[in-house]
């Protein structure tokens, strides 16, 4: 949501504030809650590619138009802070400069790659290397957006939960190929993994990735690799809709 991603700390105060947002209306006679208003505004920001400064100006204008006092977020940071406790967080994972490993699990405490021996950090100063590991700049970072919280919210909605079972309950089976579920590969997976296939709510993902130049300069040395996930449980004309696509990984450049 926007060019910058703010990672909020999940303190007790923030969690308590998020609970209050669910019940607090924007102003006294409003039917819209503070949380609902924040989500609608952030969705507007995202769908229109609005900058943080432009979004700040919009919030300032709305503050003047609405009755006082009101509970509208004061700025972009405050609006994003409201949704951080909802499980929409981002994790930064250090990666090997040559793409050998991710520094997590068994590798999280290493200072160099066990495969290519490349240093994990940009700095080479012995003094800096002895300091706090969290303050050393890594050579490469992968941004991970957990998809489990998104899926939990989908299954918490009755309409979405039914949609995720469409491939097994409502799909027309007449021998014609309209959906991946009609193909031989789908049937081969079902026959090989019987336990997985027996639960129709299990999710079939399609994973894709491609490099892009985020600054619209083909000659630029900096590129980014977004990784997208589509869900094949749902109707074929919904699989590629933006609403049902997720981006679990964002791999930054320079290459």
- Tens digits of residue pLDDT in 68-116: 888 888 888 888 887 766 656 788 899 988 889 999 889 988 888 999 9
Residues 149 and 203 occupy one common structural domain: yes
Predicted confidence band at 231 (pLDDT cuts at 50, 70, 90)? very high
pTM of the shown model: 0.62
The count of domains in the chain is 3
Strand partners, 238: none
From 61, 86, 111, the end of a domain falls on: 86
Flag whether 3 is in a domain. Answer: no
Residues 119 and 78 in one domain: no
Note whether residue 6 is domain-resident: no
Work out the mean pLDDT of the chain and round it to a whole number: 81
- Mean pLDDT for 112-140 is 77
Asked if residue 41 belongs to a domain, the reply is yes
Establish if 1 belongs to a structural domain: no
* 150: nearest Cα among 164, 138, 140: 164
Q: Is residue 5 part of a domain?
A: no
Domain that holds residue 40: 12-86
pLDDT band at 232 (very low <50, low <70, confident <90, very high): very high
Write out pLDDT tens, residues 80-90.
887 766 656 78
The radius of gyration of the chain from alpha carbons, rounded to an integer in Å, stands at 23
Could you tell me which of 75, 78, 77, 62 has the C-alpha nearest to residue 27? 62
pLDDT band at 26 (very low <50, low <70, confident <90, very high): confident
Residues 77 and 106 in one domain: no
CA 164 – CA 158 distance, rounded (Å): 10
- Asked whether residue 237 falls in the same domain as residue 154, the answer is yes
């Amino acid at each position: 949501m926007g060019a910058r991603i703010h990672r909020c700390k999940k303190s007790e105060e923030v969690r308590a504030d998020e609970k209050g947002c669910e019940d607090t209306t924007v102003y006294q006679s409003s039917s819209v809650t503070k949380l609902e208003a924040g989500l609608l505004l952030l969705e507007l920001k995202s769908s229109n590619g609005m900058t943080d400064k432009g979004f700040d100006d919009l919030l300032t204008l709305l503050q003047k138009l609405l009755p006082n006092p009101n509970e509208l977020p004061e700025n972009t940071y405050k609006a994003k802070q409201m949704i951080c406790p909802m499980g929409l967080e981002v994790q930064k994972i250090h990666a090997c400069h040559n793409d050998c490993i991710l520094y997590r699990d068994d590798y999280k405490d290493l200072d160099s790659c066990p495969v290519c021996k490349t240093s994990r950090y940009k700095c080479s100063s012995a003094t800096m290397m002895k300091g706090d590991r969290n303050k050393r700049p890594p050579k490469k970072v992968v941004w991970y957006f957990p998809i489990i919280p998104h899926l939990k919210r989908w299954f918490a909605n009755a309409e979405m939960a039914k949609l995720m079972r469409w491939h097994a309950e409502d799909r027309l089976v007449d021998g014609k190929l309209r959906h991946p579920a009609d193909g031989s590969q789908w049937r081969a997976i079902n026959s090989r993994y019987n336990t997985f296939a027996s639960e129709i709510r299990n999710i079939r993902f399609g994973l894709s990735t491609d490099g892009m130049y985020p600054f619209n300069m083909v000659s630029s040395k900096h590129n980014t690799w977004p990784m997208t996930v589509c869900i094949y449980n749902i109707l074929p004309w919904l699989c590629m809709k933006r609403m049902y696509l997720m981006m679990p990984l964002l791999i930054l450049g320079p290459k």
